[in-house]
């Protein structure tokens, strides 16, 4: 793995763990964290064999965020974590009226409850470290829904509210909480959506920059930055923008 350069400030003070690291933004984050000098990077996936090619500085762990026993085992194995990145995500529920309850519950299981359970499991390590940082990968549609993925949007809106609650709760314990709101990114999850997409690598770089800059909210790509500004100025305007798409 390459080391951090003078133009890429180091994350050497952190031991990082990334959920959902087998592909997409998660894999790019693991590679970027290692390149930025993180002292250790735990990469997690349901099948750790998918992580075998990430290099000697990366420790692969089995983690299914919907399985409490799996979460507990990962937290026991990685008690030195100072930077937790909740990246694992699910997109199974599209139109919120037409989506089955099973698909809605599957998205909530990963995007809301999984995020919460992983955070709770690693909370002692983050607090103990005194530099604990929690990063939640959300999405622009957590701020305003897109009808075609209304079920997914709702699950991410719940995760957005949860992130705000965690910021209030964990902030009193010295843990920083950051939300990340990407637009369209070139991952398997959005393979069927025809639109300009940012690369996972560019999003991972922006997230690491945001960590180093102590930002609460990161809009990491060319789609999300102007729409994030729109949301800050007029949340109803962002809702209308997505409704018209």
What pLDDT shows up at residue 190? 58
Is 152 designated active site?
A: yes
For the chain, the domains span 15-243
Superfamily designation of domain 15-243: NAD(P)-binding Rossmann-like Domain (3.40.50.720)
Position 5 scores a pLDDT of 46
Question: pLDDT per residue over 164-205, tens digit each?
Answer: 999 999 999 999 999 999 998 877 665 666 666 789 999 999
Q: What is the DSSP letter of 190?
A: G
Residue 231 has pLDDT above 90, yes or no: yes
**Residue 245 corresponds to which tokens in the numbers above?**
């798409």
At 191 the pLDDT is 62
Mean pLDDT (the chain, rounded): 93
Catalytic residue, chosen from 42, 94, 120, 152, is 152
Quick one: pLDDT at residue 68? 98
Beta-carbon contacts of residue 135 (< 8 Å; ≥ 6 apart): 83, 84, 85, 86, 178, 180, 207, 211
Query: Sheet holding 83-86: strands in order across?
Result: 58-62, 40-45, 15-18, 83-86, 133-137, 176-180, 217-218
8 A C-beta contact, residue 141 and residue 182: no
9 has a pLDDT exceeding 70: no
Q: Is 156 a catalytic residue?
A: yes
Over residues 73-79, mean pLDDT? 98
Catalytic residue among 42, 128, 156, 197: 156
Residue 187 has a pLDDT of 72
């Amino acid at each position: 793995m390459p080391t951090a350069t003078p133009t890429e400030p180091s994350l050497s003070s952190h031991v990082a763990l990334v959920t959902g690291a087998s592909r997409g933004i998660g894999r790019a984050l693991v590679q970027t964290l290692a390149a930025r000098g993180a002292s250790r990077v735990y990469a997690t996936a349901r099948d750790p064999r998918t992580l075998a090619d990430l290099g000697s500085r990366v420790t692969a762990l089995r983690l299914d965020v919907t399985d409490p026993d799996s979460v507990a085992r990962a937290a026991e194995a990685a008690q030195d974590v100072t930077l937790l990145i909740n990246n694992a995500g699910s997109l199974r529920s599209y139109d919120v009226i037409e989506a089955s309850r099973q698909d809605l519950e599957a998205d909530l299981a990963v995007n809301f409850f999984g995020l919460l359970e992983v955070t709770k499991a690693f909370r002692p390590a983050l607090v103990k470290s005194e530099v604990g940082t929690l990063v939640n990968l959300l999405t622009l549609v957590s701020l305003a829904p897109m009808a075609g993925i209304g079920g997914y949007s709702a699950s991410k809106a719940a995760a957005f509210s949860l992130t705000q609650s965690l910021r209030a709760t964990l902030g009193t314990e010295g843990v920083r909480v950051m939300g990340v709101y990407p637009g369209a990114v070139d991952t398997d999850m959005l393979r069927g959506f025809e639109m300009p997409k940012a690369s996972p690598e560019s999003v991972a770089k922006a997230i690491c920059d945001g960590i180093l800059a102590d930002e609460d909210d990161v809009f990491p790509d060319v789609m999300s930055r102007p729409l994030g500004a729109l949301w800050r100025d007029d949340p109803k305007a962002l809702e209308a923008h997505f409704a018209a798409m």
